[in-house]
């Protein structure tokens, strides 16, 4: 049973609370910056540390959770909404469900969507009811060293991800010239003085630099927490749509997602032609599992900006095409039509 946020744990409940509050790391970063890659790195390298993960996806299909190394029993998915606003209550309940487990959990890692504003999420941990049960360790922000520029995305969320970070990881340095990374680092340093700045390829960072760092400083956000508390009408978790600093960031940024699923395979040539000639520039990010024929492997498709990869993998079950597209002002009916045209006839 999920304990209601207003209830106190009683001696009769079998809720096993960690002594100093469960350490929590928030992984954020713009679309395609390397968050899931970092989460996989943590899960693979965490050794004896028992890590629970909470994955928030912006699309209707859980792609990221299917890309994680096997952690089913320690994972909670929060799909089809953004934990910094529309499904913030679900975040609190998901954390309760993790705290309620009989098995000891040492650390909770949360992967936000690429369009999330981390501040309302951080404040959710810095305020009751989660404040006494958890300890926010740090906000880790991934930045795509090749694609990121302050103007490029014109996104309130992307800038807030940098401004509120305790640790900023300049990732994908293999795709950027060293001077470009130096310029980015100088800009990032100006945005968030005092943040720990790291560079990486494939989000490969020594874990002691990002876990159990105790870098989050709640006292810096007292004013924001007060404003949020004042606009919270009941004892449940705060909603960021009530909070004047962060109202409607999805609307402001204009991001939408679209899902495509089919039991029929794609024609590889048609699909590649569509990518090369017809894919709208408004699509910033796409990911999914593609099927190109009855005997071929599952292909993991990742598109970030103009780059895409197709990596062969095994089908875990019956082949099926699943794709999520994320961008601004997407013409969903047209994209659905184009994708249906790529199916084998």
Q: Which residues bind ligand GTP (CB under 6 A)?
A: 29, 31-37, 64, 114, 142, 171-172, 174-175, 201-203, 285, 287, 302, 304, 309
DSSP class of 149: -
Contact present, 20 and 135 (Cβ < 8 Å): yes
By CB atoms closer than 10 A (0-12, 13-18, 19+), residue 104 is exposed
Residue 95's Cβ-side half-sphere holds a number of Cα atoms within 13 Å equal to: 32
* Cβ at position 123, least distance to ligand GTP in Å: 22
Question: What's the closest the beta carbon of residue 116 comes to ligand GTP, in angstroms?
Answer: 9
Rounded to a whole number of angstroms, the minimum distance from the CB of residue 305 to ligand GTP is 10
Cα torsion angle, 49, 55, 61, 63, sign: negative
Q: For residue 50, give both structure tokens.
A: 């028992």
Cβ proximity of 143 and 61 under 8 Å: no
Whose CB is nearest to ligand GTP?
A: 114
Nearer to ligand GTP, 230 or 311 (CB): 311
Q: How far is the CB of 56 from ligand GTP (least distance, A)?
A: 9
The residue among 155 and 304 lying less far from ligand GTP, judged by its C-beta, is 304
C-beta closer to ligand GTP: residue 38 or 240: 38
- State which residue, 249 or 287, has the beta carbon closest to ligand GTP: 287
- Which pair of structure tokens corresponds to residue 325? 């597209």
Question: Which residue's CB is nearer to ligand GTP, number 27 or number 108?
Answer: 27
Strand bridging mode 307-313 / 298-304: antiparallel
Q: Per the structure block, which two tokens stand in for 162?
A: 């940098």
Task: Tell the smallest beta-carbon distance from residue 302 to ligand GTP (Å).
Answer: 3
In the complex, least distance from residue 31 CB atom to ligand GTP, rounded to whole angstroms: 4
Find all residues with CB under 8 Å of 230, minimum gap 6, and list them. none
Pairing of strands 321-328, 255-262: antiparallel
Q: Which is nearer to ligand GTP, 96 or 153 (CB)?
A: 153
> What is the DSSP annotation of 36-49?
HHHHHHHHHH-TT-
Q: CB of residue 64 vs ligand GTP: minimum separation in angstroms?
A: 5
Residue 121 CA to residue 28 CA, distance in Å, equals 10
Q: Which is nearer to ligand GTP, 99 or 324 (CB)?
A: 324
């Amino acid at each position: 049973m999920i304990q209601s946020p207003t209830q106190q744990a009683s001696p009769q409940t079998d809720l096993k609370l960690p002594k100093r509050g469960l350490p929590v790391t928030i992984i954020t970063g713009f679309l395609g910056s390397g968050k899931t890659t970092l989460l996989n790195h943590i899960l693979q390298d965490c050794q004896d540390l028992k890590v629970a993960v909470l994955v928030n996806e912006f699309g209707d299909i859980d792609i990221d959770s299917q890309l994680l190394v096997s952690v089913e029993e320690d994972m909670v998915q929060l799909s089809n909404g953004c934990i910094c606003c529309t499904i913030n209550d679900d975040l609190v309940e998901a954390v309760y469900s993790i705290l309620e487990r009989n098995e000891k959990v040492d650390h909770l890692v949360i992967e936000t969507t690429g369009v999330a504003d981390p501040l309302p999420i951080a404040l959710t941990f810095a305020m009751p009811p989660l404040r006494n049960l958890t300890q926010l360790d740090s906000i880790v922000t991934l930045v795509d060293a090749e694609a990121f520029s302050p103007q490029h995305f014109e996104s309130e969320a992307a800038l807030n991800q940098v401004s509120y970070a305790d640790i900023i990881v300049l990732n994908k340095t293999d795709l950027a010239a060293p001077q470009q990374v130096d310029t980015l680092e100088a800009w990032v340093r100006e945005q968030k003085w005092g943040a720990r700045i790291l560079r990486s390829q494939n989000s490969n960072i020594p874990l002691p630099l990002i876990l159990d760092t105790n870098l989050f400083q709640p006292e810096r956000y007292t004013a924001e927490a007060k404003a949020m508390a004042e606009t919270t009408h009941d004892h449940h978790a705060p909603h960021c749509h009530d909070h004047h600093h962060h109202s409607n960031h999805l609307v402001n940024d204009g991001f939408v997602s679209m899902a495509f699923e089919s039991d029929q395979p794609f024609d590889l040539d048609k699909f590649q032609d569509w990518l090369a000639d017809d894919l709208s520039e408004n699509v910033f990010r796409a990911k999914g599992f593609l099927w190109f024929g009855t005997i071929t492997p599952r292909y993991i498709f990742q598109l970030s900006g103009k780059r895409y990869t197709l990596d062969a993998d095994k089908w875990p079950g019956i082949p099926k095409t699943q794709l999520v597209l994320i961008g601004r002002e997407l013409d969903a009916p047209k994209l659905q039509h184009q994708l249906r045209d790529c199916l084998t006839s």
